[in-house]
């Protein structure tokens, strides 16, 4: 006898009751949905993919995969299989995109960019570039912001940028905005930039009232009357006795008195819009007879005119060093400071010790010389290089290194393919590194040309930490090197034979290099050569010379049987913003004396010439040979007994320590 099978469900598979499934309808009425037991998955985590009714069944509403098919409960394998295939959990794992769509605001916040507004590009030197300086400014922001956030290993990048009139609008990631905001007030290509997180048009000041305009014009008149263009002197002495300021009522209220000097500085900022304009217009400021007990009311002078050479604070009420501390380490180029007529002279007799330390270029303090020009120069060099820089060591072998250096840079400028043929083979390697954070001399720096042409070849190991990037940016073989060299900008290196002072070259033997012939298991001898110098590029629309400093490291070894006689095994080029080479000092021990040109001894005494005339002739001859002016030439001769040859030897030994004024001729 055949067994009866259970009747299949007669309703549609996705019926309304199964779809809504919040509870059962019975007795013709509507029952409330009751809370069922809390469900957890096999890992013990709360199961939130479905709602559970009072009967313990999952409701289809809210299930991401769709409705849960209904069927017989627990009757054989078919029910279990059906539940496993049609349940919400299977759909949950198959649709992660639906999870992100359901997260709403959280997923949207991941793509939000912060907009910043930058002003100051128009007044910069980069504004004359083909793109009006936009790319240079963006590179500057990325480089400086990354350097400020040195603890983070990631690089800060500007996602979007465009110009809106004179304002540059950029979009950055929220976590990068704070670092870029720190660049507010930085100097870019000679112009101070401002960074704002709100549109300037919305935060701009209200239109100037008629009263404010009249006040500004009157104060400008006061400044104009107190400015001496011939001496480049701004006379701000005895402001309390100024009749124009009295008529304006500036001294009737203590609040106005405290605001007067900042207002004067704000107007100066508007009159001289760039740091260079301030430096050229104002060299000296006098603040005498102002009853100043401290610098709280006049501290803004340091930020407005930081390059002052002369400052007069005499006949005020400064009683101690604390009253002057607000200007400590300010005015880095101050040469003459006057404090006479202040109580500090009698109350703190040794105040000069601290004052001299606060201002590194100070030479005169209240009319007394505290440093000479030579001492200032020596102190600044000591700050830059606290340890003496030894003279370069050049230990060549059979003039191989010298001949290579003499040929290399001229060939690199004019015929790179021939250079590859003469010195490179299939085993040679080349890599390029760009250091955008190199320290530069603040007094001798130039605008930095853009790095765009080098970025795709940059193998800076600090910036690029992925192994694949490091490997892909190291070229091996003359063909790979040729492809990169053809893409690099054309260069102009100084002629090393006529301008050796622009190079620092070191050479030393290097044993244990691979033998290209395979005959020596211990390897062969080669040379390690380090070259530091500078070169020029021809960049269209770039103001001034496009100079860069470089360091290049070569490993030379003998060539293979069918290759060049001398080959470059390794060539590493490191680039950075231009800065002059540091001066070297002689180290202890025997050093080769440079060849002395044909300098004759003191001429035979001519009876018709006085001793002063003979000394003048010697000084003129030494000046012609060394480039020093007559004053320093005479000093050098006097120290060597007016022996012309010994004077030249002394010049060669000490020329690295001579100040710049030794070469200044009237």
pLDDT tens digits for range 470-484 = 999 999 999 999 999
User: Which pLDDT value is given to residue 67?
Assistant: 45
394 token code pair:
């050049």
DSSP 390: B
User: Which pLDDT value is given to residue 65?
Assistant: 43
Please, are residues 337 and 365 in contact by the beta-carbon 8 Å criterion?
Answer: yes
Q: What's the CA gap between 208 and 176, in Å, rounded?
A: 36
Predicted structure pTM score: 0.41
User: Which pLDDT value is given to residue 51?
Assistant: 47
Q: Is residue 568 part of a domain?
A: yes
The mean pLDDT value for 566-577 works out to 95
Determine the structural domain holding residue 638 and report its residue range.
611-663
User: Which pLDDT value is given to residue 477?
Assistant: 94
Per-residue pLDDT at 231 exceeds 70: yes
The mean pLDDT value for 248-252 works out to 71
Q: For residues 332 and 106, which has the higher predicted lDDT (pLDDT)?
A: 332
| Per-residue pLDDT band at 77 (split at 50, 70, 90) | very low
Q: For 15-29, 36-50, 110-124, 146-160, which range has the lowest pLDDT when averaged over its residues?
A: 15-29
Q: Is residue 1 part of a domain?
A: no
Decide the pairing of beta strands 429-435 and 566-577. Answer: parallel
Looking at the fold, whether 141 and 83 belong to one and the same domain comes out as: no
Look at the block and give the residue holding tokens 């007990």.
293
Per-residue pLDDT at 288 exceeds 70: yes
Per-residue pLDDT at 104 exceeds 70: no
Residues 6 or more apart whose CB falls under 8 angstroms from that of 357 comprise none
CATH of the domain at 140: 3.30.70.330
Looking at the fold, whether 143 and 237 belong to one and the same domain comes out as: no
Looking at the fold, whether 71 and 148 belong to one and the same domain comes out as: no
What is the average pLDDT score of the chain? Answer: 78
> Which of 52-56, 210-214, 391-395, 487-491 reaches the highest mean pLDDT?
487-491
| Per-residue pLDDT band at 109 (split at 50, 70, 90) | very low
Looking at the fold, whether 197 and 256 belong to one and the same domain comes out as: no
Looking at the fold, whether 259 and 336 belong to one and the same domain comes out as: yes
User: Which pLDDT value is given to residue 102?
Assistant: 46
Per-residue pLDDT at 593 exceeds 60: no
Looking at the fold, whether 95 and 171 belong to one and the same domain comes out as: no
CATH of the domain at 473: 3.10.450.50
Residues 6 or more apart whose CB falls under 8 angstroms from that of 381 comprise 583
Looking at the fold, whether 193 and 217 belong to one and the same domain comes out as: no
User: Which pLDDT value is given to residue 204?
Assistant: 47
Helices and strands: H and E segment counts in the chain: 24, 22
Looking at the fold, whether 228 and 299 belong to one and the same domain comes out as: yes
Look at the block and give the residue holding tokens 């400008």.
220
User: Which pLDDT value is given to residue 533?
Assistant: 95
Length of the chain as a residue count: 666
Q: Is residue 14 part of a domain?
A: no
Please, are residues 41 and 87 in contact by the beta-carbon 8 Å criterion?
Answer: no
Per-residue pLDDT at 52 exceeds 90: no
User: Which pLDDT value is given to residue 266?
Assistant: 85
167 token code pair:
């304002």
Q: For 102-111, 177-186, 219-228, which range has the lowest pLDDT when averaged over its residues?
A: 102-111
User: Which pLDDT value is given to residue 93?
Assistant: 44
| Distance separating the N- and C-terminal Cα atoms of the chain | 131
Q: Is residue 390 part of a domain?
A: no
CATH of the domain at 637: 1.10.8.10
Q: What's the CA gap between 195 and 182, in Å, rounded?
A: 8
Looking at the fold, whether 484 and 423 belong to one and the same domain comes out as: yes
In percent, the amount of the chain with pLDDT more than 70 equals 73
Per-residue pLDDT at 385 exceeds 70: no
Q: Is residue 376 part of a domain?
A: yes
Looking at the fold, whether 236 and 368 belong to one and the same domain comes out as: yes
Q: For residues 138 and 60, which has the higher predicted lDDT (pLDDT)?
A: 138
Q: For 86-100, 200-214, 353-367, which range has the lowest pLDDT when averaged over its residues?
A: 86-100
Q: For residues 407 and 378, which has the higher predicted lDDT (pLDDT)?
A: 407
φ, ψ of residue 581 to 5 degrees: the values are -65, 145
Q: Is residue 598 part of a domain?
A: no
Q: Is residue 587 part of a domain?
A: no
Stretch (H or E) spanning 105:
helix 105-109
| Per-residue pLDDT band at 657 (split at 50, 70, 90) | confident
10 Å CB burial of residue 626 (0-12, 13-18, 19+) is buried
Q: Give which of 271, 289, 284 is closest to 223, Cα–Cα.
A: 271
Q: For residues 39 and 240, which has the higher predicted lDDT (pLDDT)?
A: 240
| Per-residue pLDDT band at 61 (split at 50, 70, 90) | very low
Looking at the fold, whether 39 and 161 belong to one and the same domain comes out as: no
User: Which pLDDT value is given to residue 589?
Assistant: 38
User: Which pLDDT value is given to residue 340?
Assistant: 92
Which of 384, 417, 452 is the C-terminal boundary of a domain? 384
Which of 555, 577, 599 is the C-terminal boundary of a domain? 577
> Which of 97-111, 628-642, 649-663 reaches the highest mean pLDDT?
628-642
Which of 155, 180, 202 is the C-terminal boundary of a domain? 202
Q: For 16-30, 355-369, 417-431, 635-649, which range has the lowest pLDDT when averaged over its residues?
A: 16-30
Q: Give which of 576, 572, 577 is closest to 432, Cα–Cα.
A: 572
The mean pLDDT value for 51-63 works out to 46
Looking at the fold, whether 267 and 323 belong to one and the same domain comes out as: yes
Q: What's the CA gap between 63 and 48, in Å, rounded?
A: 9
Q: Is residue 172 part of a domain?
A: yes
In percent, the amount of the chain with pLDDT more than 90 equals 26
User: Which pLDDT value is given to residue 435?
Assistant: 93
Range list of β-strands (E), 278-343? 284-286, 310-312, 336-338
User: Which pLDDT value is given to residue 255?
Assistant: 52
User: Which pLDDT value is given to residue 572?
Assistant: 97
Number of structural domains found in the chain: 5
Q: What's the CA gap between 472 and 459, in Å, rounded?
A: 9
Q: For 32-36, 69-73, 83-87, 568-572, which range has the lowest pLDDT when averaged over its residues?
A: 83-87
User: Which pLDDT value is given to residue 9?
Assistant: 54
611 token code pair:
């001793």
User: pLDDT, tens digit, for every residue of 401-430?
Assistant: 999 999 999 999 999 999 999 999 999 999
């Amino acid at each position: 006898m055949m067994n009866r099978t259970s009747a299949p469900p007669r309703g549609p598979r996705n019926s309304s009751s199964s779809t809504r499934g919040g509870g059962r309808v019975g007795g013709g009425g509507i029952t409330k949905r009751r809370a069922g037991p809390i469900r957890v998955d096999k890992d013990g985590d709360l199961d939130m993919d479905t709602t559970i009714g009072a009967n313990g069944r999952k409701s289809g509403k809210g299930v991401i995969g769709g409705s849960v098919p209904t069927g017989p409960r627990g009757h054989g394998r078919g029910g279990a299989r059906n539940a496993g295939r049609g349940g919400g959990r299977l759909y949950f794992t198959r649709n992660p995109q639906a999870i992100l769509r359901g997260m709403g605001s959280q997923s949207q916040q991941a793509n939000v960019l912060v907009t910043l507004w930058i002003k100051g590009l128009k007044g910069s030197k980069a504004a004359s570039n083909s793109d009006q300086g936009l790319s240079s400014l963006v590179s500057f922001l990325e480089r400086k912001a990354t350097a400020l956030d040195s603890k983070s290993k990631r690089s800060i990048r500007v996602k979007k940028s465009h110009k809106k009139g004179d304002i540059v609008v950029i979009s950055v990631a929220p976590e990068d905005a704070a670092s870029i905001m720190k660049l507010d007030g930085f100097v870019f290509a000679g112009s101070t930039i401002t960074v704002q997180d709100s549109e300037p048009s919305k935060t701009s000041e209200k239109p100037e009232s008629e009263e404010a305009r009249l006040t500004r014009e009157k104060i400008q008149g006061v400044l104009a009357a107190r400015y001496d263009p011939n001496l480049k002197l701004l006379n701000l002495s005895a402001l309390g006795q100024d009749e124009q300021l009295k008529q304006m009522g500036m001294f009737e209220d203590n609040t106005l008195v405290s605001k007067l000097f900042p207002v004067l500085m704000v107007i100066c900022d508007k009159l001289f819009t760039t740091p260079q304009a301030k430096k050229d217009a104002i060299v000296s400021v006098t603040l005498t007879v102002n009853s100043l007990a401290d610098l709280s009311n006049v501290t803004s002078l340091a930020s407005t005119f930081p390059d002052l050479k002369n400052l007069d604070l005499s006949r005020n009420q400064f009683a101690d060093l604390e009253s002057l501390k607000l200007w400590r380490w300010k005015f880095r180029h101050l040469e003459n400071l006057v404090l006479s007529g202040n109580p500090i002279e009698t109350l703190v007799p040794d105040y000069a010790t601290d004052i001299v330390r606060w201002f590194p270029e100070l030479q005169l303090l209240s009319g007394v010389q505290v440093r000479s020009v030579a001492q200032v120069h020596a102190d600044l060099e000591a700050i830059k290089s606290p340890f003496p820089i030894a003279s370069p060591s050049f230990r060549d072998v059979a003039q191989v290194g010298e001949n290579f250096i003499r040929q290399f840079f001229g060939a690199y400028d004019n015929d790179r393919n021939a250079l590859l043929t003469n010195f490179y083979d299939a085993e040679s390697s080349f890599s390029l590194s760009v250091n955008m954070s190199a320290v530069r001399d603040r007094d001798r720096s130039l605008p930095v040309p853009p790095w765009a042409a080098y970025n795709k070849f940059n193998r800076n190991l600090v910036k690029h930490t992925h192994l694949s990037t490091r490997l892909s940016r190291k070229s091996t073989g003359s063909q790979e090197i040729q492809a990169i060299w053809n893409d690099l900008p054309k260069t102009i290196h100084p002629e090393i034979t006529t301008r050796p002072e622009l190079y620092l070259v070191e050479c030393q033997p290097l044993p244990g290099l691979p033998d290209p012939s395979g005959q020596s298991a211990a390897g062969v001898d080669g040379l390690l050569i380090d070259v530091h110098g500078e070169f020029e590029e021809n960049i269209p629309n770039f103001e001034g010379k496009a100079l860069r400093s470089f360091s290049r490291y070569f490993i030379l070894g003998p060539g293979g049987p069918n290759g060049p006689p001398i080959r470059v095994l390794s060539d590493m080029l490191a680039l950075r913003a231009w800065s002059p080479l540091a001066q070297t000092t002689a180290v202890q021990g025997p050093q080769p004396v440079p060849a002395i040109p044909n300098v004759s001894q003191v001429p035979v005494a001519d009876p018709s010439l006085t001793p002063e005339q003979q000394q003048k002739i010697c000084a003129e001859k030494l000046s012609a040979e060394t480039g020093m002016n007559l004053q320093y030439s005479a000093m050098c001769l006097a120290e060597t007994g007016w022996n012309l040859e010994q004077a030249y030897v002394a010049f060669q030994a000490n020329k690295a320590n001579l100040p710049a004024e030794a070469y200044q001729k009237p």
